[in-house]
Amino acid sequence: MNHAPRAAAAAALLALANAPRARAEEPLSPWSAPRYHDAGLLQYYASLETLYQWDSNARLLGAQPRTDHVAVLRPAAAGRITGPEDSFLATSYLLDAQKFLHDEALDALNHQWFAGARLASQRWGYVQASNFYVNTNDRAGTVFADRIRREDDTVKAAIGKELGSLTPELGYEFFKGRYRAPIFLHYTVSSLAPRATWKADENNEGLLDARWDHVTYPDATVRDGNAYEARFGWSHRRERLALSAAAGAHRRVYRGGGVNGYFGPVGEARARWTPEDRTTLSAGYAMTLHEAPVEFPSAYYREQQITAAVAYRATERLSAQLSQIVSIQKYGNNSAAPGLAAQRRDVPISTDLTGNLRLRESITTFAGLRRDERFSNLSAARYHGWVATLGCKIETR
């Protein structure tokens, strides 16, 4: 079969959009208790965020970038019912409406919905389950350059019990990813994730976890495979200092003989220090592997990510944060794009400065400036751009 026309189309699109890096975080989760308003049995939270953005490169093009102006409206609502011993029933919804002044094809309505429950008993342990659904073309948390419409649906369940200082847990996760783009492949991941934590003392905690993933591609069975991971970790917490680290090994095996697997190290390290009441410093490093559900390239890519941030609270109402994320993304031995002989390597860098002014207890204004840049040995994948943001958020308190 002649794949040349499809390969050419894939090369053009790959220059703009690559595989997802990570799934979106659960919005307004039931664990963010300080944000909820207590109304007796029911606790609730609601907010309305309005933003104006100036984007110097709305499509993140390497050549001839297009400047645009964006109006964003983000209403959100959440509610939960709490019970004894950390039991709860919770749900939340977030709408992200974006309107572009010039490039109307980028207009979007993005949705995030979360539902979760936990039933806990000191005698019998706990069981918890959640569903997190995302329908979006947002590029945040991904390596997408173009705005690819996608659906992420994640179901999680876990059972565990505290046995003195030891807490064993068995978790299950099912993820389904769907993409509205010609070269992206729908796929699912079924996972088993046993883990155990133990408290050495009030400041130190150990972690041992493992994970088995079964990856299925309905339209490309040669990409079906399994991934195995095991890690050992440790965390240390004091009043002003928090440290954590975990390291282990990861192995990926694919059904198709032409799809290369992987075996190597994974791990992460985090640090957070508050030298005085107004200043917080944080830094992190992570080495991970991610599925790359694209039609022709490597089935996965490795990522090393370095993060650093400083947050400063000048007064009770005025604060600012400066952060930077540097990632090194290396695809497998299979060419990551048709016509690229070398192993593909991308280095995206994002630097963000944000200031917040709380006008009232429930009203906060903010302004920010972000610089995004990606270096790559695939010339068509390089880009740089600036995004300036001005907004206001109203929320229940």
Query: 77-91, 213-227, 329-343: lowest mean pLDDT where?
Result: 329-343
* d(C-alpha 329, C-alpha 143), whole Å: 9
**Percent of the chain at pLDDT exceeding 90:** 62
Lowest-confidence range among 100-104, 137-141, 340-344, 362-366? Answer: 340-344
Question: Tokens 């990856």 sit at which residue?
Answer: 215
Task: For residue 225, give the nearest of 216, 236, 238 by alpha carbon.
Answer: 216
DSSP-derived letter for residue 183 is T
Residue pair 11/339 in contact by the 8 Å Cβ criterion: yes
**Cα(60)–Cα(17) distance, integer angstroms:** 10
User: Is the pLDDT score of 17 beyond 50?
Assistant: no
Handedness of CA 294, 264, 206, 204 (dihedral sign): negative
Burial class (CB in 10 A: 0-12, 13-18, 19+), 92: buried
Q: Which residues lie closer than 8 Å to 202 by C-beta, 6 or more apart? A: none
* Each residue's pLDDT tens digit, 234-271: 999 999 999 999 999 999 998 876 677 889 999 999 99
Which position has the token pair 């994002």? 350
pLDDT on residue 257: 67
Residue with the bigger pLDDT between 197 and 60: it is 197
pTM: 0.86
Contact 80, 41 (CB under 8 A): no
Report the SS3 class of residue 317. Answer: coil
- According to the model, what pLDDT value does residue 344 have? 81
Q: CB within 8 A of 18, min separation 6: which ones?
A: 143, 144, 145, 292, 294, 336, 346, 381
Give residue 14's pLDDT band: very low, low, confident or very high (50, 70, 90). Answer: very low
Tell me which amino acid residue 276 is: E
* Average pLDDT estimate for 177-183: 84
160: β partners: 126, 169
Average pLDDT, the chain: 86
Helix-, strand-, coil-residue percentages of the chain, each rounded to 5: 5, 65, 30
Count of C-beta atoms within a 10 Å radius of residue 221: 10
Longest dimension (CA), the chain: 66
- Mean pLDDT lowest for which of 79-88, 134-143, 275-284? 134-143
* Neighbour count for residue 337 (Cβ, 10 Å): 23
Q: Is the pLDDT of residue 178 over 80?
A: yes
pLDDT for residue 337 is more than 70: no
Answer yes or no: is pLDDT of 222 > 90: no
For 309, residues 6+ apart whose C-beta sits below 8 A from its C-beta are 281, 282, 283, 321, 322, 323, 324
Number of domains comprising the chain? 1
Residue 299: pLDDT band with limits 50, 70, 90? confident
Q: Of the given ranges (133-137, 306-310, 312-316, 328-332), which has the lowest mean pLDDT?
A: 328-332
Q: How far apart are CA 142 and CA 28, in angstroms?
A: 20
Q: Residue 291: what pLDDT?
A: 83
Nearest to 98 by CA among 370, 394, 371, 391: 391
Q: Which two tokens stand for residue 157?
A: 């369940």
Contact 356, 34 (CB under 8 A): no
- Residue 306's identity, in one-letter code, is I
Q: What is the pLDDT of residue 21?
A: 38
Per-residue pLDDT, 292: 79
Residue with tokens 């207890």: 361
CATH for 208: 2.40.160
Contact 350, 374 (CB under 8 A): no
The pair of structure tokens assigned to 125 is 């342990």
pLDDT of residue 295: 63
Range of the domain at 41: 4-395
Taking alpha carbons only, the member of 32, 139, 209 closest to residue 372 is 139
